[in-house]
Amino acid sequence: MRVGLLTGGGDVPGLNAAIRAVVKRGEGEHGHTVVGFRHGWRGLADGDVMPLTRPHIRNVLATGGTLLGTARYHPHADDGGIDAVLATLEEERIEALICVGGDGTLHAASKVAEAGVRIVAVPKTIDNDVWGTDRSIGFDTAVTIATEAVDRIHTTAESHNRVMIVEVMGRHAGWIAACSGIAGGAELVLAPEEPFDIDRVVRFLRHRHRAHASFSIIVVAEGAVPAEGSSMTYQTQLGPFGEIVAGAIGERLGAEIAERTGFDTRVTVLGHVQRGGTPTPSDRILGSRFGVAAVDAVSAGASGVMTALRGDEVVLVPLAEIAGKVKQVPSDLLEVAGTLA
């Protein structure tokens, strides 16, 4: 077969491992020709094509980002977008499509599958909020980076007797915040799943600094918000593509804490640092497993499904089951984060 491959949405470490696995497994085991589309769904709609053979994937396993490039474009949301995608697939004689992405890319995949295209999707997002899979490509690297940042901030916070706020990504789910907060020993973790009460935060900090410590670390997800009826009002700041403005909640939280407590408070916004650099071994392995599973699935005639990690097993789940759903952090994990403060 001629198999198309694209990576959409935000880049994450481990994407090149998935691309490499699709090419090596597709060529070597199944005898397929793999064709890449640059810049996600936009490249597929525009016919921006590149060949993907073994020379193209040499030495990419440890490289972050995606050799195919990516873009935040969804053909079902653009007038004529689906028709343009179908025209390119017909012109390039693509018999099956593998798309790697987060919730937006996967939603687009389900719409294209409804148009009759054989599609297998692969979940990637540092937010780890794709429904139906225990883990998405990129999450482990992001948590590792965030944890290292919290570790480093501990020493300067203690040296200067400061409250240090570390803002991490996580619009709808606080997986990075919860996991890096626990691993890094943060005093407080604020996540979208549980709106916070600024008065309780302030009371906690005052008590801690009076009783036994002169510094505190707070990890806050970018999508965290104050609870309704609490004394802090805040409207989530969004950019032109609906993305949360990096640093908005961190800076506002820092200002509130400094004003209410008088403590020297500083903010560190990790932002795109969490997406960049060398993928961890776990993300390389997961990307490789998902890539192999995806090309095996299209070879077996599967369509409208997504590769997923359930425990230690890679399985296929219907795209229709995950549409519109967000995998949030379970309350017991957030409780662990709070208990260890």
Which residues are known to be catalytic?
127
Four-point Cα dihedral 192, 197, 203, 206, nearest 10: 40
Radius of gyration of the chain (CA): 22
CA-CA distance, 246 to 107, in Å (whole number)? 24
CA-CA distance, 103 to 124, in Å (whole number)? 9
List beta partners, residue 97: 4, 119
- φ, ψ at 236 (rounded to 5°): -55, 130
CA-CA distance, 24 to 60, in Å (whole number)? 12
Residue 283: HSE in the Cβ half-sphere, 13 Å Cα cutoff: 32
CA-CA distance, 275 to 136, in Å (whole number)? 13
- Mapping DSSP to helix (H, G, I), strand (E, B) and coil, where does residue 275 land? helix
Answer whether 82's CB lies under 8 Å from 72's CB.
no
CA-CA distance, 141 to 118, in Å (whole number)? 31
The token pair at 172 is 């709808």
